[in-house]
Amino acid sequence: MDITGRQIRAARGLLGWKMEDLADKAGLTRITIRQIENEIVQPQEKTLAKIYAVFDKFGVEFLPDEGMRIRKQDTRIYSGKAGYRQFLDHVYETLKGGGHIRQFNFSDMRYLPNEETFVANHFLRMGSIKGLDSKVLEIGDETKHPLAYCSYRKNDKKFKDMAPWYLYGDYLVLSLNESGGKREFITIRSKLLAERYLKEFDIFWNMATSEKKKKGTK
């Protein structure tokens, strides 16, 4: 969803932030924020994505017709290319201090197009995290170039029709739509769900017998 300068200004007010606060958290300059809010310039997609990610982290939800609100429940839907980048940003922001990732029938190669610079940079920043415990269960050899920060095992083909899911921290991710190349995910933050899915993953992980050899981070 595109956000306007008026929405950004109002969202700052909702959080009691000055322009400097938003600029610092988004890695931008105060001048850039002022120009965007006053609609003096048309910001690049990656600039808006940074601003959106900051507000998303602090619980501001943007609505149609230039509306916004503080999120009351931590269930989010990420749609399209911009939403996918926001999702990856959230994964990194959540785990940059360490934590766990579990991927069940959810191959990186299926969802992360290698030709995009953004994705390559995402791999690099995830690989730099200390204390990251990442395990991937996939059908067959979907990942031709395993990532150094992940451990891989093959899931039995009889489980290939089971719904794919992705877990990071206390966030459970389900894929809603993959048709026509469109990506759409829903994330649900629930410590109880996370604990249950971790236990389920461990059962399938212990049944898997083949582990991939790590080759690199790209």
Domains of the chain: 5-70 (1.10.260.40), 75-207 (3.30.870.10)
Q: What is the pTM of this model?
A: 0.65
Spatial distance between the Cα atoms of 17 and 37, rounded to a whole number of angstroms? 14
Average pLDDT value for residue range 139-156 = 84
pLDDT tens digits along 41-68: 989 888 998 999 888 878 788 888 888 8
Work out the angle between the directed axes of helices 45-57 and 5-15 (0-180°, nearest 10).
20
Q: How far is CA 54 from the centre of its chain?
A: 13
Closest CA to 142 of 162, 157, 124: 157
Report residue 82's pLDDT band, with 50, 70 and 90 as the boundaries: confident
Confidence band for 112, pLDDT divided at 50, 70 and 90: low
Q: Is the pLDDT of residue 71 over 80?
A: no
The type of residue at 8 is: I
Give the H or E element holding residue 144. none
pLDDT attached to residue 22: 95
The residue behind tokens 């410590």 is 191
pLDDT at site 114 = 46
Q: What is the mean pLDDT of the chain?
A: 85
